[in-house]
Amino acid sequence: MDGNKDKTASIPIFRKPVVEDFTGYRSAKKYQLISIDGKFKASEDDLKTITDICNEDLVYRFLFQDRLKGSPYVINDARKFIIWARDCWEKGESFFFLIRDEDNHIVACLDINSNNLENAAIGYWATQNSPGVMTNAVNLLCAIAKKAGYKKFYALVEPVNIRSIGVLQRAGFTYKGTKMDEILFMDRPLGKQLLFNMYEKSL
């Protein structure tokens, strides 16, 4: 057996940059999924948009309220996020993607949080001003990940996060029960656990 081939088969293989067009769920709106790889550059408008979305009520409540201890998400957080996301791509540890609308504005973000091909977690956020974007974005992410070698995805969602649960159900994920899990902020543990619903999908 060729040892190099065996090693290659154990890691996800993406063609960079990843740039894929898609339409919204039950809409004709056009979007584009773009990898935040090492060559990605964010404009100041991009950073401001990310900051604004991360301060929207639902996104902030479920993703940043505990992580930022009630402080607002600021533009420097967005800048650090982009740097970290690019670094994760280059190290092959985790993989982040942004979604742009027809006007080239950022409206959403998705990630695959590890290079474990057998079972990796995904996460996402989206602006409330682009309803319907996330279902097909998750479907597209699953298709891209399957080509890269992933076998299964799972997602952890707070039980009260009805919108996110709806996205997973429409994208073909199956409820697998509940799980206590530690909250992380850019891979840093914060010493707090929450109860999540767990959903899985074979790719």
What ranges do the domains of the chain cover? 15-150
Q: pLDDT digits over 114-134, tens only?
A: 999 999 999 999 999 999 999
Q: pLDDT digits over 10-27, tens only?
A: 789 998 899 999 999 988
Q: Is the pLDDT of residue 190 over 60?
A: no
Q: Is the pLDDT of residue 47 over 90?
A: yes
- Report the pLDDT averaged over residues 63-73: 90
Instruction: Kindly state the tokens that stand for 91.
Output: 């190290």
Q: What string of DSSP letters covers 118-154? A: SSEEEEEEE-TTSTTHHHHHHHHHHHHHHHHT--EEE
Q: What is the model's pTM?
A: 0.91
Question: 120-126 and 152-157: which strand pairing?
Answer: parallel
Reported as a pLDDT band with limits 50, 70 and 90, residue 194 is: confident
Question: 30-35 and 174-185: which strand pairing?
Answer: unpaired
Strands (E), the chain: 19-23, 30-35, 95-100, 106-112, 120-126, 152-157, 174-185, 188-202
- In CATH, which of 2.40.50.140, 3.40.1000.10, 3.40.630.30, 3.40.50.2000 is domain 15-150? 3.40.630.30
